Amino acid sequence: MAETPRKKSRLIPEVDFSRDGKQTGFVRLFHSTHDSAYGFLPIPIVVVRNGDGPTALLTAGNHGDEYEGQVALTNLAKWLTPERIRGRVILLPMANFPAALAGRRVSPIDDLNMNRIFPGDPDGTVTRQIAHFIDSALIPLADLVIDLHSGGSSLMYIPCALAKQSANPAVFERQLAALRAFGAPYTYIQGGAQGQGGDQTLGSGADRRGIIALGTELGGTGTLTPAGLAIAERGLRNLLVHLGILPRDEWREPPAPTRFLDVRGPEMYVYAPENGLFEPLVELGEEVAPGRPAARIHVPETPWLPPVEVRFNAAGIVMCKRIPARTKRGDCLFHLASDLSIA
Ligand SMILES: [Zn+2]
């Protein structure tokens, strides 16, 4: 069950989560600096409520250089009205506000990646305080949390939805039902694979409380992909219909049912074995077999040496690819996803 936070958040929302109607404003994070002694960082928030009913918490900008979710929630902030819904929707389009404002994965204030520090700390640096506010003040209000991501500056994804498999089978069933409603072309299920944040992500904060946690990877490379945005916009509405927050006539049928994929093993990832220049040998969406060459790492500093070849260790679809050619040992170059055997 949920742990009771030892300390209350220092952040102050300008909205009242229990009030009916549509409220817009900021969560104030007081941050005393040389330039602004008594000032606050204004984290935008929108709350739309119409009576009792389920609550959806929709977040984006957890990583500041991932844009489809930020725009989808910005559009939803204008479209959602209390008359349209039953229950409550909470929108946080720039969750790590300083990072989103800077267009960076990590905060320019404390250099922290917010999706690796949950449940946060009310007495910590700025990013730790935001994570703690989301974890202790927003997530407990929700029946479902979806945290919208893309690949960020260094990665490109085939647009997809995802969930980390809840250890609670009943919650996992509800995750799968919600993912079917979201209706992305692909949906992958994470296990505890290295590098994906483990129990330090926003979604893990929801899962700790038995709340349905979903995510997305809608594109990447620090740009906004129209196809990813369209998937997010249709998916969010369908998710709200699925929860009973929006009426059935707002449902938009996806072109095809989502294809469930599995990214639960470390063998699905390919890493650079050396520093050098990354030459990809496959493209996103290709289906590969184990042993297929994935990349060459060239070393122009010693051009007489042969490139290092990297091979895939598993079969699957290429879901994600590194973008910058300049690569260091340990960088993730690709990850695969294989078909998931569920219903
Ligand atoms: Zn992200």
Residues 232-250 have pLDDT tens digits of 999 999 999 999 999 999 9
Q: How far apart are CA 113 and CA 66, in angstroms?
A: 13
Distance 39 CA to ligand 1 centre (A): 28
Question: Ligand 1 center to residue 238 CA distance, Å?
Answer: 22
Using only C-alpha atoms, the chain has a radius of gyration, in whole angstroms, of 20
Rounded CA separation 229/32 (Å): 36
Cα(220) to centroid(ligand 1), Å = 9
CA-closest candidate to residue 27, choices 148, 149, 140, 137: 137
Given a cut of 80, is residue 48 above it in pLDDT? yes
For residue 188, CA distances in Å to 49, 133, 282, 343 come to 31, 28, 20, 14
Would you state the structure tokens that stand for residue 232, as one six-digit string?
Answer: 């997010």
**Average pLDDT taken over every residue of the chain:** 95
According to the model, what pLDDT value does residue 6 have?
Answer: 54
Strand, helix or coil for residue 236: helix
| Residue 192's pLDDT band (cuts 50, 70, 90) | low
Distance 248 CA to ligand 1 centre (A): 31
Query: 293-331 pLDDT, tens per residue?
Result: 999 999 999 999 999 999 999 999 999 999 999 999 999
Distance from Cα 10 to the centre of ligand 1, integer Å: 25
* 205 has pLDDT over 50: yes
Tell me what the mean pLDDT of segment 126-142 comes to: 98
Q: Tell how far the Cα of 151 is from the centroid of ligand 1, in angstroms.
A: 6
Contacts of 56 (CB under 8 A, 6+ apart): 87, 88, 89, 90, 142, 143, 144, 145, 146, 239, 240, 243, 245
Q: What are phi and psi of 219, to 5 degrees?
A: 160, -130
Q: Are 298 and 276 in contact (CB under 8 A)?
A: yes
Distance from the alpha carbon of residue 63 to the mean position of ligand 1, in angstroms: 5
- pLDDT for res 343: 47
**What residues have their beta carbon closer than 5 A to ion ligand 1?**
63, 66, 149
Bond prior to 119 in cis (omega within 30° of 0): yes
Residues in the chain: 343
DSSP designation for 94: T
What the block records as the tokens of 172 is: 């996992």
User: pLDDT tens, 253-297?
Assistant: 999 999 999 998 899 999 999 999 999 999 999 999 999 999 999
Measured in Å, residue 319 CA sits from the centre of ligand 1 at 15
Query: What's the average model confidence in pLDDT over 79-86?
Result: 98
pTM of the model: 0.96
For the chain, what percent of residues have pLDDT higher than 90? 93
